[in-house]
Structure 1
Amino acid sequence: MLHCILGSIFASCSLTFELSKLKDPEYFMKVKSLLLIKTSSLCSRFRENVWLCVSATFVVLWIIAWLYRDSLEIENMNEKYVFVTGCDTGFGNLLCKKLDRKGFRVLAGCLTEKGADDLKRATGPYLKTVLLDVTNQDSIEKAMEWTKKEVGDTGLWGIVNNAGRSLPMGPSEWMKVEDFHSTLKVNMNGVIGMTMTFLPLIKKAHGRIVNVASVLGRVAANGGGYCISKFAVESFSDCLRRDISYFGINVCIIEPGFFKTAVTSLDPLERELHRLWNQLSPEVQASYGDKYLDKYIKIQRLIMNAICDSDLTKVTNCMEHALTAAYPRTRYSAGWDAKFLWIPLSYMPSCVVDIGLKLVLPRPSKSV
Structure 2
Amino acid sequence: MWLYLAALLGLYFLRRWYRERQSVEGLPEKYVLITGCDSGFGNLLAKQLDARGLRVLAACFTQQGAEQLRKATSQRLQTVILDVTRTDSVAAATAWVKEQVGDKGLWGLVNNAGIAIPAAPNEWLTKDDFVKVLDVNLIGPIEVTLSVLPLVKRARGRVVNVASIMGRLSFFGGGYCPSKYGVEAFSDSLRREMLPFGVKVCVIEPGYFSTTITNPQVLIENFTRLWERLPEETKASYGENYLNAFIRATHRMQKSCNSDLSVVTRCMGHALTARHPRTRYSAGWDAKLVFLPLSYLPTWFADIVLTWSYPVPAQKA
Counterpart-to-counterpart distance in 1, 2:261 and 2:163: 15
Counterpart-to-counterpart distance in 2, 1:341 and 1:54: 30
C-alpha deviations, 1:155-212, integer Å up to 9, x for none? 0000000000000111000001110000001001111011110100000000000000
Aligned to 2:133: 183
- TM-superposed CA distance for 1:290, in Å, is 2.1
- TM-superposed CA distance for 1:66, in Å, is 1.1
Counterpart-to-counterpart distance in 2, 1:203 and 1:358: 44
Aligned to 1:361: 310
Q: Which has the higher contact order (CA 8 A, sep 6+)?
A: 2
Aligned to 2:287: 338
Give the alignment of 1:139-218 within 5 angstroms: 139-218=89-168
C-alpha RMSD over aligned residues: 0.9
Counterpart-to-counterpart distance in 2, 1:136 and 1:271: 26
Counterpart-to-counterpart distance in 1, 2:8 and 2:291: 31
Following TM superposition, the consecutive aligned residue runs of length 4 or more in structure 1 with deviations greater than 4 angstroms are none
State the secondary structure of the residue aligned to 1:59.
helix
Q: Where does the alignment leave 5 or more consecutive residues of structure 2 unmatched?
A: none
Say whether residues 1:279 and 2:222 are aligned partners: no
State the secondary structure of the residue aligned to 1:239.
helix
Counterpart-to-counterpart distance in 2, 1:61 and 1:339: 22
- TM-superposed CA distance for 1:58, in Å, is 2.2
- TM-superposed CA distance for 1:115, in Å, is 0.5
- TM-superposed CA distance for 1:244, in Å, is 1.2
Counterpart-to-counterpart distance in 2, 1:230 and 1:315: 16
C-alpha deviations, 1:281-301, integer Å up to 9, x for none? 010000011211001111221
State the secondary structure of the residue aligned to 2:308.
helix
Aligned to 1:266: 216
| Contact residue 82 and residue 89 of structure 2 kept, 8 A | yes
Give the alignment of 1:33-72 within 5 angstroms: 51-72=1-22
TM-score under structure 2 normalisation? 0.98
Q: Are residues 358 and 58 of structure 1, via their aligned partners in 2, closer, same or farther at CA, if it must alter by over 3 Å?
A: closer
Say whether residues 1:323 and 2:287 are aligned partners: no
| Contact residue 31 and residue 56 of structure 2 kept, 8 A | yes
C-alpha deviations, 1:227-264, integer Å up to 9, x for none? 01000000100011011111000000000111111011
Letter of the 1:325 counterpart: A
Counterpart-to-counterpart distance in 2, 1:61 and 1:269: 47
Say whether residues 1:350 and 2:299 are aligned partners: yes
Q: Which moved more, 1:61-70 or 1:220-229?
A: 61-70
State the secondary structure of the residue aligned to 2:94.
helix
State the secondary structure of the residue aligned to 2:202.
strand
TM-score under structure 1 normalisation? 0.85
Percent of pairs with identical residues: 50
Counterpart-to-counterpart distance in 1, 2:261 and 2:197: 32
State the secondary structure of the residue aligned to 2:240.
coil
Counterpart-to-counterpart distance in 2, 1:168 and 1:141: 27
Q: Where does the alignment leave 5 or more consecutive residues of structure 1 unmatched?
A: 1-50
Counterpart-to-counterpart distance in 2, 1:303 and 1:104: 35
- May I ask how many residue pairs the two structures share in their alignment? 317
Look at both structures and tell me which one has the larger radius of gyration over its CA atoms: 1
Say whether residues 1:297 and 2:247 are aligned partners: yes
